[in-house]
Amino acid sequence: MSDQTKILATAAQVLEHEGQALVRMAQNLPADFVSTVERILKIKGRIILSGIGKSGHIARKIASTLASTGTPSYFVHPAEASHGDLGMITHDDLCILLSNSGETSELGDLINHTRRFSIPLVGMSSKEDSTLMRAADFRLTLPQEPEAGSGIAPTTSTTMALALGDALAMALMEQRGFLSEHFRTYHPGGKLGAQLALVHQLMHGPEAMAVVAPDTAMQDTLLKMSEKGFGIACVVDHGKLVGVISDGDLRRNSEHLGSRTAQEVATKSPKTVPPDMMAVQALAVMNENKITVLVVVDTAGAPVGLLRIHDCLRAGVA
C-alpha cells in the first residue's frame, strides 16, 4: 500500500469511527438531555461553561454557539475562576462543566461554588460515577467510545462532546423560536449575518428617492433625479408606484425627451421587492434582470426605499 493510500485510509477510518459514534449517541441521547434544556430555558441569568485542556476548547465553542443562537453564555477558565472569577457566577446562572474523566481537579472550585450557592450544575462526562457527575444536578453522559486511531489522543470523545453541545444549542434555539433575523442581530459583521440581512436593513430610505407624479415634465424629473443622485425616479400616482425611470429609459427616449412626461418615459410594472425580503434574494432579482437598483415597496404598493447592487456587495451579500 502506497503512502498516499495509507494516508487516505487512515483519514477515512477516523471519520467513519467518529461518525458511527455520533450515530450511536443520537440513538441513545443522555437521559437528562430534555430536563437540561427545560432548566436552561428557565434560567434568568447566563450559562457559564468551563473545562480544561481539550474539554476547555470544546466548552469555549459551545459557549460561543449558545450565545449566537439566543442563549446568553460565556466561558470561564477554571484557573481564573479560582483566582477571582467565581464572583462572575451568580445564583441566577447555570454552569455546564466538561471533563471526559469527570475527575479534573481544576474544576473543584467551580463545583464547590455551585454547590455552596445552589447554582444549577450540568456535568458532561463519559464517567457516570465520577466526582463531577455525582455532584451535578443534570448529567449529560457521553458514551464510552474508543478514541480514533491509536487511541492516544482525545478524538472521538471531543467530537461527541462538541456535537452534543451543538444538539443542546439547536434544541434551545428551536424552543426559543430563534429566527434568522435574530441571528443577524448577533452577527452584524459576519458572512453568515450578511447572508441573513433583510432589504430594509440595507436600503436607502424615502429621503433618497426622486418621486414624481405621472404628468411631471421630464425636465423637472431630470432635475429631481440629478438632485438625489441614484439614477432613478419613482413615478407615483395616488401613493402607489406606477413606474420607474432609469438611465436606460432616458437613453431610449432621448430624441424627444424634452417634450415628454414622466409616465410616457417610465417603465411600467417595474421590478420591486418588499422590505422584509432577504437581501440575498433581492440581489438575485437584480442579477437575473440585469439591473443595478430596485425600488422597495410596502404591502400597499407605496415606494419606501431604494436598494442598489452596490449596497448588497458592500455589506457582504453575495
pLDDT, tens digit (0-9, with 9 covering 90-100), for 208-245:
999 999 999 999 999 999 999 899 999 999 999 999 99
Render the burial of 279-292: b for 16+ CB within 10 Å, e for the rest: bbebbeebeeeebb
Whether 182 has a pLDDT exceeding 80, the answer reads no
Grid cell, residue 130, equals 465520577
**Residue 270 one-letter amino acid:** P
Which residue ranges make up the annotated binding site?
77
- Residue 256: per-residue pLDDT: 84
The C-alpha cell 439566543 sits at 70
In order of their start, the domains of the chain are 3-178 (3.40.50.10490), 199-315 (3.10.580.10)
* d(C-alpha 219, C-alpha 224), whole Å: 9
To the nearest 10°, the Cα dihedral for 205, 228, 214, 272?
Answer: -40
How high is the pLDDT of residue 187? 57
Confidence at residue 198, expressed as pLDDT on a 0 to 100 scale: 87
Phi, psi of 130 (to 5 degrees): -100, 170
Distance CA(127)–CA(148), nearest Å, equals 18
**Share above pLDDT 90 across residues of the chain, in percent, rounded to a whole number:** 77
Full-model pTM: 0.64
Render 232-277 in DSSP notation, one character per residue. EEEEEETTEEEEEEEHHHHHHTGGGGGG-BHHHHSEES--EE-TTS
pLDDT of residue 186: 59
Q: Which residues contact 19 (CB under 8 A, 6 or more apart)?
A: none
Cα angle at 173 between 170 and 175, to 5 degrees?
110
How far apart, in whole angstroms, are the C-alpha atoms of residue 120 and residue 165?
17
pLDDT > 80? residue 195: no
pLDDT digits (tens, 9 = 90+) for 82-137: 998 999 999 999 999 999 999 999 999 999 999 999 999 999 999 999 999 999 99
Amino acid, single-letter form, for residue 60: R
pLDDT-derived band at 193, boundaries 50, 70, 90: low
Place of cell 443577524: 184
User: What pLDDT score does 254 carry?
Assistant: 87
Q: Which of 19, 29, 53, 60 is nearest to 139 (CA)?
A: 29
Q: Which three cell numbers stand for residue 315?
A: 455589506
Per the annotation, binding residues for Zn(2+) are 77
Q: How far apart are CA 168 and CA 267, in angstroms?
A: 52
Q: Mind giving me the DSSP string for 15-82?
A: HHHHHHHHHHHHHT--TTHHHHHHHHHH-SS-EEEE-STHHHHHHHHHHHHHHHTT--EEE--HHHHT
**Alpha-carbon gap, residue 91 to 43, rounded angstroms:** 10
Choose the weakest-confidence range: 18-32, 136-150, 249-263: 249-263
Cell numbers linked to 285? 432579482
pLDDT in tens, 40-54: 999 999 999 999 999
Cα→Cα distances 230→79, 236, 295, 316, Å: 57, 17, 11, 21
